[in-house]
Structure 1
Amino acid sequence: MVMLEPQARPTGRQYDLQRVDQSTWIIRDAHVPTSDARSLVACISQAPLDGVDVLWLNPVGLPTHYRTADAVLRDLIRHGRRSTGTTRPIPIPHRPPVKPGRR
């Protein structure tokens, strides 16, 4: 496996998708220094038949097979938005309690 040199991180994005070789990518957390192993979020490799397989290095509850490496990154970003509470809560309908003897 090719080792990546620490590099400047783009600003404004939490995750970076980096190509390691012709059939392998990694996703790094831009909020963690590249010298820290915790910055690695996932390792993505070309699947034998179709798409890519993902090895999540921390449990995130996302699929392990996607069509493309870009799709993995998009899904991770969407998942991060949901888990940080940036979406509106789902409304729960409220009804009065059922009175005894009435049907």
Structure 2
Amino acid sequence: MEHDPHRRFTLVEVSATDWAIHDLQYPENDHRRVVCTIFEDAPTEVEVLWRRDLPLALRYSTAEDVLDAVRRFQDTSRATRPIPIPHLPPARDSKRFRR
């Protein structure tokens, strides 16, 4: 079953200048539901307080940009099929093994 990151994460307005991103795969009363809180730092900038260990920026232009970044990260971090590695014995150096 594949998860659509566009349906999994949602932006919730807490106040006129604060937002939170919720992960809808967790129930309402689960602390893991809150991915981050977002605070308006200036009219053209928001600051993010990550509640998870995500390698994403701390400042963005808008709260929607933060949501887009979380969705992109989640979409690219899903597991992929294993990459086949050739299993061949090491090449023998004929000069090394002569006596």
Q: TM-score, normalised by structure 2?
A: 0.71
Q: What is the aligned counterpart of 2:7 among 13, 18, 38? A: 13
Are 1:70 and 2:64 an aligned pair?
yes
Match of 1:29 in 2: 23
Contact 2:44–2:62 (CA under 8 A) maintained in structure 1 = no
Counterpart CA distance in 2 for 1:26 and 1:43 is 4
Contact 2:47–2:59 (CA under 8 A) maintained in structure 1 = yes
Identity %: 32
| Off by >2 Å, runs of 4+ in structure 1 | none
Three-state SS of the structure 1 residue aligned to 2:70 is helix
Query: Cα RMSD (Å) of the superposition?
Result: 1.7
* Alpha-carbon offset, residue 46 of structure 1: 0.1
Which has the higher Rg, Structure 1 or Structure 2?
2
* Alpha-carbon offset, residue 85 of structure 1: 3.5
Q: TM-score, normalised by structure 1?
A: 0.68
Counterparts of 1:19-98 in structure 2, within 5 Å, are 19-48=13-42, 50-85=44-79
Counterpart CA distance in 1 for 2:50 and 2:16 is 20
Structure 2 counterpart of 1:73, which letter? Answer: L
Structure 1 unpaired stretches of 5+: 1-11, 90-103
* Structure with higher RCO (Cα < 8 A, 6+ apart): 2
